[in-house]
Structure 1
Amino acid sequence: MDEQIIKTEYSDVMQKSYIDYAMSVIVARALPDVRDGLKPVQRRTLYDMYELGIRYDKPYRKCARIVGDTMGKYHPHGDSSIYESLVVMSQEFKKGLPLVDGHGNFGSIEGDGAAAMRYTEARLQKITQEAYLADLDKDVVDFVPNFDETEKEPAVLPVKIPNLLINGADGIAVGMATNIPPHNLGEVIDGVKAYMTNPEITTSELMKYIKGPDFPTGGRVVNKDELLSIYETGQGKVKIRGNVIIENGKNGKDKLVITEIPYTMIGANIGKFLNDICTLVENKKTNDIIDISNQSSKDGIRIVLDLKKHADVDNLLNLLYKKTKLEDTFGVNMLAVADGKPETMGLKEIIKRNVNFQIELTTRKYKTLLSKELDKKEVQEGLMRACDVIDLIIEILRGSKNIKEAKDCLITGNTANIKFKTKASEKSASQLHFTERQATAILEMRLYKLIGLEIEALMKDHETTLKNIAHYEDILSNQATMIATIKKELDAIKKEYAKPRKTIIENAAEAVYEEKKIEEQEVVFLMDRFGYTKTIDLAAFERNKEAVLSENRYVFSCMNTDKICIFTDQGMLHSVKVLDLPFGKFRDKGIPIDNACNYNSSDENLIFVSALSEMKDKLLLFTTKNGMMKQVSGEEFDVSKRTIAATKLAEGDELVSIDIMEGVQNIVIQTNKGIFLRFLSDEVPQKKRGAIGVRGIKLSKDDYIEEIYKFNENTSIQINYKEKEISLNRLKLASRDTKGTKARV
């Protein structure tokens, strides 16, 4: 066969391939099916456990066995996704209705991971068998080939309850994500029954039964009025808070005890919550908390905040709601696979599709049962007829040479080749017309079945079969009977497995935190040569003035409401609030400036530090190593961001000096090769911080600026350069952007 080359656009191939990949992820990996509320990995894991016989009343089996079998037969996407799915389905703090009974370390609510699969064991929960996997032998769902077509797996599990609502779901696909909160089993069943009674029921009426999400961690939903819109559209934000109680202590020292956390705080967010509280205390956002302890155990959550005497509890609670995850939002997006494609559905639509699925399951189940009962009826009627003519049948069997002749006689009345004792017997035999199934049953019947009691039992079984057939036909032909049958099953599930609601649904006022006004005071900022920084009060500075000035690189006074601006040689500005710096005694160590802001001492060097208030209404003179200069208004550095670019630098250039200017001053540039240039500051133009600036001096090859000096007119200023004193005020006044003069040494 000749090779055929098909020419096509590369972009078309990429587009088709990516769409195929995206749909595969959406439908076959990340999103649950609206019918059983399960993702493929969950469905396959539960089915594999069912096939392995790991039932609720059987011993636990190693999770490694379950994972390996599931991966080999149904889910060839790696063991970690299967084990993670198995673990989550067993965690009571994540699932409203755990589907797997785990034995061993399956993780904790505080984010501890489960032990390796070789150590843990699992089996199905009782409800999983009764409400998720029952009737698989009754042809209620379609079975499809697995990935290598060596096994069959159910396309969907015959789940009898709306698992999508009860256990919720979360998953990230390509270009879309689902996030459905869990709900109360009893409430959801009541809602389903209400929809069955009145398919025209509104979402608002459904919410009389389904109040809202019911999280395994409890807590409170505090935006009750917004739930109707969320359940109608399938999208929105549920605002949740932890449950907090106040325990009265001795001497007016109360305790705030968090007994339930928001669902979104599960895992590492508990540790982050504790750190956030510590940060609030360290940053002096609150002085009411004197200690915090996590006393949580297997009995439940208990996080205790010890408060100072006569603390403002209400204001502190509002601060915690505002600044920590004690109040959080759960972003609802009720997206699931329906009819093979992703669809966002509201509460009523999910229940409607589930009820339709229940009707389909019930129809297929009772069709299968009816078929079996009709087959049984046929056999029973044949055996009852056979008992009436048992002597004739025995005569046929004795006169036949083989089973085929006897069976043919029973079905068609063919008496050829069969020896009879009398012509009357032969004539009676020719009138027999059993069905093939009846004939087979007669030939397989044992003699003890001819005992009188056995015949009576056969007749009773026949009566039961007739009743079953009538009942099944009534269910299949009468919609009301079918609905009543489904409701009866739902009532039984609710009676055995429903639990009281954990999450309180209410409307709560918006948390309003009134930040206490800071008492403004003047402090002294200190930074030593190692970069450790702190603030002290003026009195401490005056008492230790000489030591302070000798031991610190930067010392200046500022208000405690001010900001400290830190400029580096890489042209960056790092800001830090004075209140974020430790305030204490002169001999306190302080903290590294790296810890207070984004400054990184390993990549950049400090060249200028000042209080924002000191430079805000002044001009700053910027000078770079390659001789670029400009003046910038200090107001440009009054920004909310903690780190910004203070100036633009050419490639390979860096800042060497920043000076606060006071009117027109003399500027002297000193280069590495001993070139000095003096000119007036008004020759340097004022520019924005995003500009490079203008050239201050013409540098010779391999020369660069080393120092910048400024002084007022009629001021005498000397410097020591290579062991020789130079009077800067006696240098010749020249113009900017000239070569300057070399110092004589």
Structure 2
Amino acid sequence: MQEQSNIIQTEYSELMQKSYIDYAMSVIIARALPDVRDGLKPVQRRTLYDMYELGIRYDKPYRKSARIVGDTMGKYHPHGDSSIYDALVVMAQDFKKGLPLVDGHGNFGSIEGDGAAAMRYTEARLQKITQEAYLADLDKNVVDFVPNFDETEKEPAVLPVKVPNLLINGAEGIAVGMATSIPPHNLTEVLNGVIAYMKNPDINTEQMMEYIPGPDFPTGGIVANKDDLLAIYSTGAGKIKVRGKVEVEQMKGGKTRLVITEIPYTMIGANIGKFLNDVYSLVETKKTSDIVDITNQSSKEGIRIVLDLKKGADVEALENLLYKKTKLEDTFGVNMLAVVDGRPETMGIVPIIRHHVNFQYEIATRKYTTLLAKEKDKKEIQEGLIAACDVIDLIIEILRGSKNVKDAKACLMTGETGNIRFKSKESEEMASKLRFTERQASAILEMRLYKLIGLEIEALMKEHEETLAKIAQYQDILEHRSSMAKVIIKELKQYIKEYGTPRKTAIDNLKEAVVAEKKIEEKDVVFLMDRFGYVRTIDVSTYERNREAVESENKTFFICRNTDKICIFTDTGNMHLLKVQDIPFGRLRDKGTPIDNLSNYDSREENVIGLYSLSALADRKVLFGTKQTMLKLVDGTEFDVAKRTTAATKLSEEDKLLIVYPLTGGETIVMRSGRDMFLRIEADSIPEKKKGAVGVRGMKLALDDALTDIYMLPEGSEQSVEVKGKEVALHRLHVGNRDTKGVKK
């Protein structure tokens, strides 16, 4: 009989439909979309796990990217090296990720769209937070491991990520028939939101937005449609309007310039070049005649795109034009789609956090179950060793009377004494009562003799107590959800403390194509500069509470208005102006910023000899004194100028400014030369001059002599200096006339 062939007849369209759906689901689940639990796509997860397995930790040397890519491709991700390297590069770019997971070394591309160098040139390692919050506890059975593509290795199905990475770093991915687009958020805000959810699982979207008010893009910028965010975060879909940050700078001759200091997140890469071309087009097509020149002055320090405007340009109208006709205002389409239990699902912000928190409870349960089992095993062995120490003489007798390990072990576990020689019936009777477990018996047989030392036994008892305490702690965590929540929340607060950063993106409701500048609330602040030249301002109340510490730790300090300016006088005769608004305002223990970075002052070429607020000089006469004894008084109002740097006085060649001092009235000044000649004169005897004048001679000096110091003596004050080992009381010096020789000391 002829064998019948097994032919299955099916409709061609059904077969194609099934095949296409299988392919689509494979792309959705295994390539394009992140998992809601760890917020990572498979290629990112595999790359990070491979770096962890290779030991490329944050405190270890960098390794070649080619090594990481090759190892990941060979073990876990057989999809071509470019997809793996591209994922590695993005995870290292701080302008794309709110929280970079990889520490890149070398050229990893730029915000302007320059690509990364080839993988053979660049190096990478894990960031510290990646190791602590993304890859920790993998050895504690916290996640399932699955076979890799050829079943020669095991890989985690999901990483035990302890922060909501899906929200913090966002996600972008195009699958088949669907796409995900999740904006990045601020780590501190998101973790505070998670803590709020854990304390109140019934929290709604509006309440959650008190903690997470909106996205926080690494490029800064402004979210312009604040009122739409509630609907977006409720449904998981919508459009966010993002704008670049534009500042107006006043130039010489009444001209102005527009400076773009922050760009919309959507402008990263080639879109910066497109923006410049769009501006050129506006000029060429006569849409605007206000722009004279455009230059891209962006650097590693940040974005700076400068538009020079003609005199009398309508700045507001030009801003409107840029927002409407270029990418300076753009739309970020939100579709918070992620894989949940093997299926793609669009979720609002609260469900994403709910899934994350459930995952945290799951990994915490598995972690502490593993730790508890280990501690119980330790407890069993410790109890066996402690019991063995009490009958150690009997155990030694059993070991000496045994022919092999098997007989000795049987005696320890079951009390079987038939194959063992004992010295006495009493010993045999005691041995028959022994009932150690197998683990305990093995530990006793492997125990070394030095463990019988008194201190070692004490250490064993102490270790046993610690083990019992850990068991109680782990049981409490596993039995009470509130205890587990406390542990998770404590860890989250530690991440906030160590890795939290201030928000970069402003959130506001802006009118169509209008950027409104907020007025500064005027108040008193305390200006501080330490001996290293770092400056900052603090609240007056903070200063009052810590007056002694402030005055001992800082070289210069005074109260001024936050709308005031600081006058920096240097020995070269220059005065640099610095707005108090530009000085970082913070806490007492903040480090501050070098004054060089905030003003035109250059500490390599000049030295600060006087720091005063502009308002403090306004109603005073200011004394100037130089090394070549040139003195003058200048009206303080002369220093209220627009320039950031101006000549505060005129100096002769090789002369240096020694003192700048605003007078209060009744002061005398003492000049001291290199040859220890002293002359004390009345400050009022010095003539008033313009700031551009050289001044008058204060003291007659020998040809090769010059002033080393000028001392100010307020009325009624006492002051002494040391000269060749003896003390000279300056306040007792005779008050002489200006332009005389003075006295030798």
Counterpart CA distance in 2 for 1:61 and 1:402 is 52
Q: 2:191 aligns with which of 170, 189, 192?
A: 189
The alpha carbon displacement at 1:322 in A equals 0.1
Give aligned-pair identity as a percent: 78
Q: 1:108 aligns with which of 102, 107, 110?
A: 110
Q: 2:482 aligns with which of 480, 483, 486?
A: 480
Q: 1:210 aligns with which of 209, 212, 223?
A: 212
Pairs within 5 Å for 1:354-369? 354-369=356-371
Cross-structure match for 2:261: 259
Q: CA RMSD in A?
A: 0.9
Cross-structure match for 1:143: 145
Q: 1:428 aligns with which of 427, 430, 446?
A: 430
Counterpart CA distance in 1 for 2:371 and 2:474 is 8
Cross-structure match for 1:235: 237
2:143–2:363 Cα contact (<8 Å) kept: yes
Counterpart CA distance in 2 for 1:321 and 1:111 is 22
How many equivalent pairs are there?
513
Cα deviation digits, residues 439-463 of structure 1 (max 9, x gap): 0110111100000000000000000
Cα deviation digits, residues 571-630 of structure 1 (max 9, x gap): xxxxxxxxxxxxxxxxxxxxxxxxxxxxxxxxxxxxxxxxxxxxxxxxxxxxxxxxxxxx
Give the partner amino acid of 1:465.
T
SS in 2 for 1:420: coil
Counterpart CA distance in 2 for 1:512 and 1:207 is 25
Pairs within 5 Å for 1:5-20? 5-20=7-22
Q: 2:120 aligns with which of 118, 123, 131?
A: 118
Cross-structure match for 1:285: 287
Give the partner amino acid of 1:280.
L
Counterpart CA distance in 2 for 1:210 and 1:355 is 16
Q: 1:339 aligns with which of 335, 338, 341?
A: 341
Counterpart CA distance in 2 for 1:37 and 1:493 is 17
Q: 1:450 aligns with which of 444, 447, 452?
A: 452
Counterpart CA distance in 2 for 1:417 and 1:470 is 41
The alpha carbon displacement at 1:10 in A equals 1.3
Counterpart CA distance in 2 for 1:442 and 1:329 is 71
Cross-structure match for 1:489: 491
Cross-structure match for 1:721: none
Give the partner amino acid of 1:119.
Y
Cross-structure match for 2:327: 325
Give the partner amino acid of 1:282.
E
The alpha carbon displacement at 1:162 in A equals 0.2
Runs of 4+ in 1 over 6 A off after TM superposition: none
Cross-structure match for 1:740: none
Give the partner amino acid of 1:364.
R
Instruction: Give the number of the structure whose alpha-carbon radius of gyration is greater.
Output: 1
SS in 1 for 2:416: coil
Cross-structure match for 1:199: 201
Counterpart CA distance in 2 for 1:252 and 1:420 is 110
Give the partner amino acid of 1:39.
K
Give the partner amino acid of 2:161.
V
Q: 1:248 aligns with which of 244, 250, 253?
A: 250
Counterpart CA distance in 1 for 2:485 and 2:205 is 21
Cross-structure match for 1:39: 41
The alpha carbon displacement at 1:252 in A equals 1.1
Cα deviation digits, residues 170-206 of structure 1 (max 9, x gap): 0000000000000000000000000000001110000
Pairs within 5 Å for 1:678-693? none
Give the partner amino acid of 1:6.
I
Counterpart CA distance in 1 for 2:366 and 2:514 is 57
Cα deviation digits, residues 131-165 of structure 1 (max 9, x gap): 00000000000000000000000000000000000
Q: 1:351 aligns with which of 338, 350, 353?
A: 353
Q: Are 2:72 and 1:70 equivalent residues in the alignment?
A: yes
SS in 2 for 1:89: helix
Q: 1:395 aligns with which of 376, 397, 400?
A: 397
Cross-structure match for 1:682: none
Give the partner amino acid of 1:291.
D
Cross-structure match for 2:131: 129
Counterpart CA distance in 2 for 1:259 and 1:405 is 82
Q: 1:381 aligns with which of 380, 383, 399?
A: 383
SS in 2 for 1:41: helix
Counterpart CA distance in 1 for 2:363 and 2:310 is 62
Cross-structure match for 2:223: 221
Cross-structure match for 2:469: 467
SS in 1 for 2:344: strand
> Under a length normalisation based on structure 2, what TM-score does the superposition of the two structures give?
0.68
Cross-structure match for 1:97: 99
Counterpart CA distance in 2 for 1:497 and 1:237 is 29
Q: Are 2:342 and 1:303 equivalent residues in the alignment?
A: no
Cross-structure match for 1:511: 513
Counterpart CA distance in 1 for 2:514 and 2:332 is 20
The alpha carbon displacement at 1:417 in A equals 0.8
Cα deviation digits, residues 684-718 of structure 1 (max 9, x gap): xxxxxxxxxxxxxxxxxxxxxxxxxxxxxxxxxxx
Cross-structure match for 1:712: none
The alpha carbon displacement at 1:3 in A equals 4.4
2:316–2:514 Cα contact (<8 Å) kept: no
Q: 2:406 aligns with which of 391, 397, 404?
A: 404
The alpha carbon displacement at 1:11 in A equals 1.2
The alpha carbon displacement at 1:6 in A equals 1.4
Cross-structure match for 1:498: 500
Cross-structure match for 1:54: 56
Give the partner amino acid of 1:18.
Y
SS in 1 for 2:331: strand
Counterpart CA distance in 2 for 1:301 and 1:225 is 28
Give the partner amino acid of 2:505.
T
Cα deviation digits, residues 325-372 of structure 1 (max 9, x gap): 000010000000001000000000000000000000000000000000
Structure 2 unaligned segments of length 5 or more: list them. 516-745
Cα deviation digits, residues 540-570 of structure 1 (max 9, x gap): xxxxxxxxxxxxxxxxxxxxxxxxxxxxxxx
Cross-structure match for 1:174: 176
Counterpart CA distance in 1 for 2:453 and 2:114 is 67
Counterpart CA distance in 1 for 2:224 and 2:163 is 27
Counterpart CA distance in 2 for 1:269 and 1:9 is 48
Cα deviation digits, residues 634-681 of structure 1 (max 9, x gap): xxxxxxxxxxxxxxxxxxxxxxxxxxxxxxxxxxxxxxxxxxxxxxxx
Give the partner amino acid of 2:143.
V
SS in 2 for 1:329: strand
SS in 1 for 2:474: helix
SS in 2 for 1:141: coil
The alpha carbon displacement at 1:430 in A equals 0.3
Structure 1 unaligned segments of length 5 or more: list them. 514-745
2:29–2:342 Cα contact (<8 Å) kept: yes
Counterpart CA distance in 2 for 1:485 and 1:3 is 64
Cα deviation digits, residues 450-493 of structure 1 (max 9, x gap): 00000000000000000000000000001110100100010111
Counterpart CA distance in 1 for 2:328 and 2:193 is 31
2:319–2:514 Cα contact (<8 Å) kept: no
The alpha carbon displacement at 1:56 in A equals 0.4
Cross-structure match for 2:270: 268
Cα deviation digits, residues 3-31 of structure 1 (max 9, x gap): 42212111111111100000000000000
Give the partner amino acid of 2:40.
L
The alpha carbon displacement at 1:512 in A equals 7.2
The alpha carbon displacement at 1:2 in A equals 6.5
> Under a length normalisation based on structure 1, what TM-score does the superposition of the two structures give?
0.68
The alpha carbon displacement at 1:270 in A equals 0.1
SS in 1 for 2:379: helix
Give the partner amino acid of 1:257.
V
